[in-house]
Every structure is written in C-alpha cells, then in structure tokens.
Chain A
Amino acid sequence: MAFADVREYTHLTDEEVEAIGRELDEIRAEVEADRGQADRDYVTRVITLQRRLAAAGRITLFASFFPPAWLLGTALLGSAKILENMEIGHNTMHGQWDWMNDPEIHSSNWEWDTTQPAEQWKHSHNYIHHQFTNVLGHDNDIGYGILRMSRDQKWTPYNLGQPIYNFFLAAFFEWGVALHDLDIEAIRKGKKDPALLKKQLKQIGQKVGKQGFKDYLMYPLLTGPAFFSTLSANFTANIIRNFWSYMIIFCGHFPDGAVHFTEEELEDETRAEWYLRQMLGSANFEGGKLLHVMSGQLGFQIEHHLFPDLPSNRYAQIAVKVKDLCKRYDIPYTTGPLHKQYGQTLRTIMKLSLPNRRTSDNPAPLSPRKRRRLDDAERPVRRTELGKWSGTASV
C-alpha cells in the first residue's frame, strides 16, 4: 500500500527524523570536502576506457561478416554503450562531476549515446523522478506510464497484457526513455501543451536522426560488404544495452520493500523527510565491482537517491554509513542479489496484471488522494542537489 506520511511508516519521532537528516547532511559534507584528484582520475579512466571500447567495437565490425568478429564487435560496442549511458552519461547529467569545473565533463552540456535528448532527461529524471520519487500520480517512473507497478494504481483490462508490454519495454527501453518526458499520461488526458509537445518531438526527432544515421546507415555503409552484418551488430548492441539498463533501473524502485507514497506526503515535507522517502522508496542490489561499474553504481540506488549529485565512485563507501544509520534507527534498507531483486520485480509485474482481488496482499483502504496532477509551476521548489535541469524543454 501507499503511505501518506513517512513517519506513519517508520514510527520515528520528529526529533529522530531530524537527527537522521543531520547525519545524512554530514555524510554529504564529508564527501564534498574530500572530492579530489582520485575522483577525477576515476571518471577520466572510465571515460577513456569507454571510448576505447567504442572505437575497438566499431573497428572490429569492419570484419563483421566473420561471425567471431561480429560477436566480439557487438560485445565491445554493447558494453561501451552501457558504460556511457549508466556510469558516465546518467551520472554526469546529475552534476556529479560539475565540481571539477571541466566543460568537457559537465551536466550543462553532456549529451548521451541514446535517443533521448539530454535536456528532456534532465527534466523527466533529475527533476520529476528524483524530486517526487515514488509518489503516486507524480513520479512517472512508477511503471513508465505503461505498467501497473503499485496496488494503488487503478487496474484496467489493459493491464492483462503486462507480461508482453514488459518484454517490449525491456527490448526497446531506449525508445521508452526517449518518449518519457512527453508524459504520455498527460497527452492521453489532453492536458499536454501542444506547443511544448511539438518542440519536444522536434528535439527527439533530431536526436533520433543523428543516432539512427550513425548506427544504421553510416557505419554499415562504411564497412562496405559487411553492411548487413554491421547493421545487425549495431542493432544487437543497442538491444543489449536496452535490456541491461531496463533491468538495472527496474531493480531501483520495484523490488519488495520499496514503498510508494501518496500526494499527502509531499505537503510540508522537510528535507529530512525527503531523505527518508528516498531511502524507503529505493532498493539496492549486491554485486562485485564490475557489476557496479556496469550499472552506473545504481546498485547503490538508495545512496544515489539520497545524494544524486555526489560522485558515483563514492556510493560504495557512503553505503556503509547509510546502512549503519538504518540499523540504528531500525529503518528498512532494501537490498539483495541482482537476480532476487529482479525476480521480485518480475513477480510484481505479473501479479499486478490482475486485479487486486485476484491476488494476495489486498491493500488497506486508500487514504483520500487528490486526483488532479499539479503542473511544474505549482509544485514545490526543486531541490538543488538533484542535479541540473535547465528547464528549457518546458517553455
């Protein structure tokens, strides 16, 4: 069920909640003061590795008519795209590296290797998702407007097809993300400003054009006789990246234990309560160093949601402190191996394709909830730690 108040869920006193907020502020301040050469070295190393992988993949695919070369080239290119989207693009656009004052690695001008324009991502993700994390009717990441992911979301017969939609969402995740900031729900309800829609579509069209031209025309043409095998390799690399990023992102907020909230939670929410909502609404997964790098450190989703703009390479060490804090205050800290977390997510997708009465865990009656969605201007002032959002996509 969804909660109208984080305290109601955690049974903490006001003083305890504020004390937690102070501790988390301290963790942030410590990391901020300690950022330096080692952090820069980390990100530049990852960027160099990613560019080498991409170049190696593209070059290998000149021989893509030869199956082992196809396989190797696809794997290289796929992993380059994953690294770029997850550990580099997503984190840079959050402003995690802005402190370096380096225009070549900065949230204001980073553009990533996927079909969604960075501009729109910074709005739909940095702003909408990170500010309104797991608040029903606000956070469009709860099922991406396609899947029913909470028992508090209304069931319709459309949801019977969830297992199929889920498969297609995973395979073409890049496209789901590309259209994400359009806010399909608002379009369906006729609430979307047509001028803004037109502007966003144009922006998406330009980005898609460049991406498609590169992967599906230029490189295949360049490889000459290997045209079709390069085309299929590039397509496959994109699909691999789609499945992977879909799985990592779905493990962030949908495993059992991550809870949803209703609109009431947002009213008079303090900074400390915002922290609490981020912890309760997110889920981590466990794994080795390589897994964490390839998932952009989103296995530390809880830490990422607490401190979206701190360098990703610091999340592992922050996690030790956050875990300890959760233990002391008896706050749930959701984590588990990747397969278990994804298994739970998949189970929820299947289960919620049916009406609530057909499945176990019938919810308590819903707290009364405002039906109308507020628009950006009516919403609370955005938190600065969420990372940059230029806002030009909304004019």
Chain B
Amino acid sequence: MPKPLTARTPALQRLRKAAHALTTPLAPDDYLKLINPLWSQRELRGRIEKVVPETENAATLVIKPGWGWSWDHQPGQYIGIGVELDGRFHWRSYSLSSPPLVEGKTVSITVKAMPEGFLSEHLVNGLEPGTIVRLASPQGDFVLPDPPPDKALFLVGGSGITPVMSILRTLDRRDTLPDVTLVYSARTEDDMMFVHELRVMAMRYENFTFHERFTDADGMFTPEQLDDVCHDWMDRETWACGPGPMLDAFTEHYQRLGREEHIHVERFTLNTAGGEAAGGMVTFGVGGPTVQVDGATTLLEAGEKAGVNMLFGCRMGICHTCDVPLASGRIRDLRSGEEHDNPNEYIQTCISVAAGDCTLTL
C-alpha cells in the first residue's frame, strides 16, 4: 500500500529532521505551506478542485489531498472534512464516493445539503474551487470483503448511496461485480443522486438489478416488501445505509430472523453501543479544574462545560483532533465499551467517558 512520500524515503525523512532543527520551534511544513498550502502534513489538508452538482441540493466535492494522505482507503469508508466558516473550523464526515485511485489524484465526497444543516449547506453551495480544507484519514468498516460475496444486496436511502457508490464503482472498475441487487429510495427522481450512472450500470450488467423507489409517491420501503423486490434476499449478504429509522427497521427484521450476522450498516452518527460507564471526578490538566462527570457525558463535553478550551473535530471519534493523553485513571470508549487505563495513552475525548476518577493531560 502506498505510504506518504516522506515515510517511504529514509533520505527524505532525514532531510526533514535536519530541516526541523532549522525551523524549531515550528516545523518545516509551517514555512513550506506558505509556498503551497498543500505542502504540510502537520494537519491533513486538501484543496477543493471541483464542485459538481448532483441534484438540486447535493454536490460532489473533488478534493486533492495534500502531503501525508495515505492512499489506501477501501471503498465504503468515510473521511472527516474540516472547513473554516466564519473563522472557526467545523468538522463533518462523509463517505468517499470515488473508487480508490492511484496516488497523486483526487478523492471525492458527495454531500447533500440538509435543511438547517448550516455546514452541509455551505459545503454544497458555499465552497469555491481552490478552498483549502482539513481532512481526516479514511475510516470505517462498511466495506466489502475481498473477494466480494457471490451475491450482495444493498439497501440504500437518500445520501446513504455515497459509500455504496464507491463500492459499486470499484467493482465495476475492477470488473469484479458479483450478483448485486440495489434498492435505492429517494423522495423524488430529482433527489436521486447518481441515478443516471446507476441506470447505465444496470443496462451494462445483467447481474446488476437496480430498484428505484420514490418515497413521495410510493411511501417508505419497509422490510416486509423485501420479498417483492428481491425474492432471494435471504441468500444475500446485505449492506444498508440511510436514515436511522430505516436502518433500525431492517436490523430488527434481520434479528428476528436470526440473520443479524448478514447485515452491515453505516449510520453516520456516533454509535454508543459501548454503554455507560461509572463516571467519576475528572481533572482537566494536572492542577486544573476538577468536576464530577457522569458516565454518559463525554470528556469533551464535560471539559467544555467546565470552561476548558479543548480542541475538537468531528465529535464522532473519527478525526483525532480532540486526542489528549490520559495522565491517570480509567476511561471507557463509548463505541466499543473498551476501557483504557494506560498512563500517557492518547484518548479521544469526544467518544470517551469517565470510568472512575481520571486526570487528563492538557
């Protein structure tokens, strides 16, 4: 897998270290980015190359990542994007809609402007090509196994199409498309992103079945209707991505039939399956303020409430902007339920809760 240029070349690494001695306390990148804003790997960044409208309120952002980007993402994964709006950085995460490409090219995400979503609205309508954004590395396990299963079913609602698009494009490009059924719901035809590309794909491949569902006219797609559109769905490995209620309905349905192993979902929200922890007294910085925090409040939220200036990014455990070392004590990862108590281990404050008294190094 390709690694960033500097990590692959020991000579470059040494040069970088030597240059650091010249620029201390700053990094060489702090000067290089004055020449080209992408020449810095202090924070991952990218430049908006193009904004391609997909529907009336959705657009694909084509981004050229800067130094330090690892080009090894898997189709279906998402990235964090941090954009500056009125002087502040705001973070969101979006699935990559582009297939993995060779190094040096671009990546793209497709964003739908949500009503009252000031940031998604800005991403769709407010970003000029040339804008520099911050990025967080690809993550997520909504990916196809390698080799892909013989038969797959994709259940998609609205903007949930984006990770699936990346998966389908990759399979198409590699010419390894198995027997695939896609059930894609959107409010109207105008709202359906990538509809033409998908229709063309359905014509080209006999083994690709594409069901379009317009919910304004036909109503929501429910688990009971699965048999109507895909009679052999029980034989298929399922990937589902879309609004929360839709995912809940389908996971419940699969569970009832004992098939929960065969459905993979992507929710785009913080999954708090790890459950609550005991809570405790949390000290923000040795000698800093100490507050009582319950086991459901993240350390980031607790710190902000205590008036501590804490860095944050996606607030979903993706971008690692909020990482701080744990000085002492025990914390729980809200997502996995895993507990950590190694002193000096970096923890993500946005998805960690106190599992007893603990102290953070700030």
Interface residues of A (CB under 8 A from B): 35-41, 48, 51-52, 55, 58, 95, 98-104, 106-108, 111-113, 210-211, 213-214, 218-219, 222, 309, 376-377, 381-382, 384, 388-392, 394-395
Contact = CB atoms under 8 A, between A and B. Distances in A.
Nearest to A123: B287
Given A36-B87, A391-B287, A391-B288, A51 B31 contact: yes
B205 interface: no
Interface of B: 21-22, 24-26, 30-31, 34, 42-43, 84, 86-90, 285-289, 306-309, 311-313, 321, 324, 327, 361-362
A391 B286 contact: yes
B87 A35 contact: yes
Contacts of B25: 111-113, 210
From A113, A213, A389, A390, name the one whose CB has the most chain B CB atoms within 10 angstroms. Answer: A390
Nearest to A118: B25
B288 A98 contact: no
B218 to A, nearest CB: 43
B322 to A, nearest CB: 10
Nearest to A114: B25
A55 B31 contact: yes
A127 B321 CA distance: 26
Contacts of A36: 86-88
A214 B24 contact: yes
A190 B61 CA distance: 63
8 contacts: A37-B87, A51-B30, A51-B34, A103-B321, A222-B22, A382-B288, A391-B288, A394-B287
Main secondary structure of the interface of B (DSSP, over half): loop
Contact of B308 (A219, A377, A384): A384
B362 A388 contact: yes
A384 B313 CA distance: 22
Contact of A390 (B30, B43, B362): B362
B21 A210 contact: yes
Given A210-B21, A211-B24, A107 B309 contact: yes
A390 B362 CA distance: 5
A41 B86 CA distance: 10
B288 A390 contact: yes
A40 B327 CA distance: 32
A210 B21 CA distance: 7
Nearest to A52: B34
A48 B26 CA distance: 13
A94 to B, nearest CB: 10
Given A210-B25, A395-B287, 16 more contacts: A39-B87, A58-B22, A95-B309, A99-B87, A101-B321, A103-B42, A104-B42, A113-B26, A218-B21, A381-B289, A384-B289, A388-B285, A389-B287, A390-B285, A391-B362, A392-B285
Contacts of A389: 285, 287-288
Given A218-B21, A391-B285, A391-B288, A101 B311 contact: yes
In this complex, the member of A41, A103, A107 whose beta carbon has the largest number of chain B beta carbons within 10 angstroms is A103
Contacts of B34: 48, 51-52, 55
A108 B311 CA distance: 8
Given A111-B25, A218-B21, A389-B288, A100 B87 contact: yes
Given A95-B309, A210-B21, A214-B22, A101 B286 contact: no
Contacts of B324: 108
A38 B26 CA distance: 25
Contacts of A98: 309, 311
A381 B311 CA distance: 23
A367 B195 CA distance: 83
Contact of B312 (A48, A55, A101, A395): A101
